[in-house]
Amino acid sequence: MEEWGSPQFVAEQFQRWYAQNSHTIPAPVEIESREFGFLTFHGRNMYRHIKLPTQAELQRYLRQNAPAHSYYSSSYYEDPTAEMARKGWRGADLVFDLDADHFDLPCQREHDKWVCRNCGKQGTGHPPELCECGKAQFQTETWLCERCLQAAKHETQKLLDILIQDFGVHQEELTTNFSGNRGFHVHVHSDTVKTLDQHARREIVDYIMATGLEAEYQGFSQRNKGAKPALAEGGWRGRTTRALYDYLSVVTEERLKEIKVSPKAVQAIMGERPKILRLLMERHPSNVTPTIDPKSLQLIVDDAAKLQAAEIDTVVTTDIHRLIRLPNTLHGKTGWQVQTVPYGELPDYDPLSSAVTIRGPSVKVEFREAPRMRIGDVWFGPYSEENAELPLEAALFYLCKKGARLA
Amino acid sequence: MLSEREAAKYPFMSRGVELVEGLNLKLEDLADPNYRKVLDRAAERVTEAIVQGVVSARLADPLTELLSYPVAVMFVTLIGEHFLSRRFALAEAVRAYELLQGEYEDKIIQIASDEFRWDLKREPESIDGVIYSLRLAYPDYLRASTGFHEPKWKLVNRKLRDGQVSLTGVEAARLIQVEVENWIKERVSTPSNFALPGPLQKHLDHIRKVFEENRSKLGGSSLPDEVVNEAFPPCMRYCLEGLLSGRRASHMERFGLTSFLVNVGMPIDDMVQLYVSVTDFDEALTRYQIEHIAGLKGARTRYTPPTCNTLRTHGICRNQDAVCKTVTHPLSYYRKKARRLQSKQEEAEPSNTTE
């Protein structure tokens, strides 16, 4: 009986693709100092601590092995082949991962599923922390849709703005990659970031996610005096005011009560919303504090700042020994290409067309459960326990997601 | 003359080092009575560090002030105690901080960029009515502010534009203090061992005596430099959490926790603040009691926390874990656990993959 996902067939497609395209895959900066790691279609072991010192050797490796997943280290090492403690860390790019997996999106309830391996209970969306049976052993099945990708794009754009405006990162130091699945990776490579230690990277993460942000230091304190509104200012001062403006324009009484804003402040916001918004627009932030008490204001800012913060994976950025997907290679869980998106082109980038690089004539497949999906300009599915004949690009996606097998 | 005075203020600067090297002094030269003032001042620098935690600035006689610094460094390395080295580095750094606060910004920029390679420039702006006259590149800022925990130093609470953090002159001086401390710490951290001419040896003996007298009071045992919350034993964690959540604590519980915190090196001001913020204790009385336990008042002995047995008797021992079974005292637990946490951190285990 054919295995779900038909890994042998998928592996052959990857081999064919790499045979034709490996010469287009560029070497990362300072390739001789990078560690490489690969996963195959068979077995779960990662082949790592690999050094591929030249572009030619990298391309040959890809051609010969056609891996399911290809990674390289964001770090630079004296000896990339040594065991972890002896590699000789020389620095690392600053890397950000924006993955819809980590967002809380309504569409996940529609296309993601989990099953408890202990008691068999099923659900949609993210699995709970603990199953009702008391175990936390879940098998998850995650799909994606345009809304996930749109959300990831939106978070990525916010990150890019913060990096450029606040951290002064130059466009040529930035690379944005579609991850090949549900998100984007942003790499910053410059001498400035290279030697940042973990503490510094943690502070950068906190900055980008607005963790620890206090309203008092963004101008919202009666101690602070000033003439100008902060709405148009750079950094978190401006962002806090803008977030507050957007938030207070639409926030409901229920939400304010839920986050434990004082009854007096709730009343003030509900009763004088236009006045408060005008204050934010026209006057220094300190003018808001007589109307909303400092404690309530902080609660509101905590809730509102998310609108302006970017939701990055905190572990990826602070881990200075991380392996990250190699741009332009294939992603074994979708069959799509990890692609670099030139700066400025992110808003119009459509991974569902651009990243689908393996195409070909129709294949007959048998489905278990698979949601509706657009590949290129054509819609497929949903499928439920049925056979269908699909063009290779669509079949490959469903096979990689293990929602189907060759019929 | 001006440069000599400048060098005397900041003797760790390359200018000061050059001046001293230019004199080409030998160890035997210092034994000459002419250098008595230098030796006295050098010994004083170290004893001030031990007793007061800050070195004074005596700029009336700049040459003595300048020369006494390298001699003081020599004394510290000869004593070769890790704890003294740290304390000396901090005390000299605080001295520099106090002097820096009186300087014009140009001087601050010069020291920061010449000595510590900071990317710091003058660009005044007014934020909420306060003048922020300087801007510092964020990597330099993050490196220097690593040890700071107040919200105002958090990057997200700073004005950051084009990769630069706005700073007041005093804030820049405070950050330079950290660099000075690290700089000096590095230079005094390797113990040395060689014979001294008589007059120098006499000074060294005196310093050693002062150090030994103050050692226990200063907490110079082999506990970690900074408070490691994660290394608290379960009993002390329980006491602390109880305090924070407003649970009524017994006298024994409060005494146990306070003496524990004193011994792991929590600053007294922080403890006073902690107690006053979560209880309705009177601040002056709280401070007196803490200082009493810390050995700064009354009988002048610093109390150590009760043993595990005592704590068990009073029902304070709870949630025992594996480490508990190997120790008989909460401080031993702390020492052991902190060491483990540190070595675990040093292994710096990597690394998963990123989807």
H/E element, B76: helix B62-79
Residue type, B238: Y
Fold held by A359-407: Ribosomal Protein L9; domain 1 (3.40.5)
Is B156's pLDDT higher than 90?
A: yes
- The 10 Å Cβ neighbour count of residue A374 is 15
Whether B233 and B320 share a structural domain: yes
pLDDT tens by residue, B216-234 = 666 544 677 788 888 999 9
A321 — phi, psi (to 5°)? -125, 35
pLDDT tens by residue, A43-60 = 888 999 999 999 999 999
| Mean pLDDT to the nearest integer, B324-347 | 83
Which one of A84, A167, A221 has the shortest CB-CB distance to B350?
A84
Is B344's pLDDT higher than 80?
A: no
Between the CA of residue A339 and those of A25, A350, A352, A392, what are the distances in Å? 10, 11, 12, 20
Cα radius of gyration (chain A): 24
Q: Give B19's contacts (C-beta < 8 A, 6+ positions apart).
A: B3, B4, B7, B66
Quick check: B212 and B314 in contact, CB under 8 A?
no
Quick check: B142 and A166 CB within 8 A?
no
Query: Does residue A252 come out as left (phi exceeding 0), alpha (psi in the -120 to 50 range) or beta?
Result: beta
Percentage of residues of chain B with pLDDT beyond 70: 91
In a domain, B352, yes or no: no
Q: Closest Cα of chain A to B44: distance in Å? A: 37
Quick check: A168 and B162 CB within 8 A?
yes
> Rounded to the nearest 10 degrees, how much is the dihedral formed by the CA atoms of A12, A18, A21, A25?
150
- The 10 Å Cβ neighbour count of residue B176 is 24
- The 10 Å Cβ neighbour count of residue A347 is 9
B156 at the A interface (CB within 8 A)?
A: yes
pLDDT tens by residue, B269-315 = 888 888 877 766 778 888 888 888 888 776 667 788 888 877 777 77
Task: Report residue A286 CA to chain centroid gap.
Answer: 36
Percentage of residues of chain B with pLDDT beyond 90: 45
Chain B environment of A216 (Cβ under 8 Å): 151
Q: Give A384's contacts (C-beta < 8 A, 6+ positions apart).
A: A367, A368, A369, A370
Q: Give B267's contacts (C-beta < 8 A, 6+ positions apart).
A: none
Whether B233 and B308 share a structural domain: yes
Quick check: A213 and B354 CB within 8 A?
no
Whether B92 and B108 share a structural domain: no
Chain B environment of A211 (Cβ under 8 Å): 156
Would you state the pLDDT for residue B351?
46
Nearest-angstrom CA–CA distance, B164 and A14: 46
A46 at the B interface (CB within 8 A)?
A: yes
3-state secondary structure of B167: strand
Residue in A closest to B161 by C-alpha? A166
Chain A environment of B144 (Cβ under 8 Å): none
3-state secondary structure of B112: helix
DSSP character for A216? G
DSSP character for A68? S
3-state secondary structure of A390: strand
Quick check: A324 and B348 CB within 8 A?
no
Whether B247 and B319 share a structural domain: yes
User: Among A118-132, A137-151, B319-333, which range has the highest average pLDDT?
Assistant: B319-333
Q: Give A122's contacts (C-beta < 8 A, 6+ positions apart).
A: A113, A114, A115, A116
Whether B42 and B88 share a structural domain: yes
Nearest-angstrom CA–CA distance, B298 and A180: 69
Quick check: A226 and B347 CB within 8 A?
no
Q: Give B256's contacts (C-beta < 8 A, 6+ positions apart).
A: B235, B236, B239, B305, B306, B311, B314, B316, B330
Whether B76 and B125 share a structural domain: no
Chain B environment of A167 (Cβ under 8 Å): 138, 160, 163
In a domain, B349, yes or no: no
In a domain, B336, yes or no: yes
Residue among B87, B7, B98, B80 at smallest CA distance from B47: B87
| Mean pLDDT to the nearest integer, A395-400 | 96
Q: Closest Cα of chain A to B156: distance in Å? A: 5
Quick check: B200 and B42 in contact, CB under 8 A?
no
Residue among A390, A373, A372, A374 at smallest CA distance from A382: A372
The domain of B305 spans 229-344
Q: Closest Cα of chain A to B245: distance in Å? A: 19
Which one of A166, A200, A210 has the shortest CB-CB distance to B139?
A200
B150 at the A interface (CB within 8 A)?
A: no
* Residue B111 C-beta-side C-alpha neighbours within 13 Å: 27
* Residue A22 C-beta-side C-alpha neighbours within 13 Å: 19
Between the CA of residue B213 and those of B48, B84, B217, B220, B265, what are the distances in Å? 13, 13, 8, 11, 18
A151 at the B interface (CB within 8 A)?
A: no
Whether B176 and B205 share a structural domain: no
Establish whether the linkage from the previous residue to A106 is cis, with ω within 30° of 0: no
A173 at the B interface (CB within 8 A)?
A: no
Percentage of residues of chain A with pLDDT beyond 90: 75
State the best of B156, B160, B343 to mutate against chain A, taking most chain A CBs within 10 Å. B156
In a domain, B223, yes or no: no
Q: Which of residues 358-387 of A touch B (CB under 8 A)?
A: none
Q: Is the ipTM of this complex over 0.85?
A: yes
Establish whether the linkage from the previous residue to B250 is cis, with ω within 30° of 0: no
Place of tokens 């902690």: B274
Is B173's pLDDT higher than 90?
A: yes
Q: Provide the CATH number for the domain formed by A10-97+173-201+313-353 in this structure.
A: 3.90.920.10
Whether B35 and B164 share a structural domain: no
Domain map of chain A by residue range? 10-97+173-201+313-353, 108-141, 215-307, 359-407
DSSP character for A36? E
State the best of A217, A288, A289, A320 to mutate against chain B, taking most chain B CBs within 10 Å. A217
A155 at the B interface (CB within 8 A)?
A: no
Burial of B251 (0-12, 13-18, 19+ CB in 10 A): exposed
Would you state the pLDDT for residue B347?
65
B312 — phi, psi (to 5°)? -65, -45
pLDDT tens by residue, A342-363 = 999 999 999 999 999 999 999 9
Whether B142 and B50 share a structural domain: no
In a domain, B15, yes or no: yes
State the best of B119, B127, B155 to mutate against chain A, taking most chain A CBs within 10 Å. B155
Whether B85 and B208 share a structural domain: yes
Place of tokens 């390739």: A31
Q: Give A41's contacts (C-beta < 8 A, 6+ positions apart).
A: A7, A8, A10, A11, A14, A68, A332
Task: List Cβ<8 Å contacts ≥24 apart for A130-138.
Answer: A138/A114
Q: Which residues of A are catalytic?
A: 97, 99, 313
| Pairing outcome for strands B160-161 and B120-127 | unpaired
DSSP character for A94? E
Whether B31 and B80 share a structural domain: yes
A210 at the B interface (CB within 8 A)?
A: yes
- pLDDT level of residue A155 (50, 70, 90 thresholds): very high
pLDDT tens by residue, B86-140 = 899 999 999 999 999 999 999 999 999 999 999 999 999 988 888 999 999 999 9
Place of tokens 């820049």: B172
Maximum C-alpha span of chain A: 75
Considering its fold, how many domains does chain B have in total? 3
Whether B170 and B116 share a structural domain: yes
In a domain, B224, yes or no: no
Q: Closest Cα of chain A to B40: distance in Å? A: 41
Among the residue ranges A27-31, A178-182, B82-86, the one predicted with the least confidence is B82-86
In a domain, B351, yes or no: no
DSSP character for A69? E
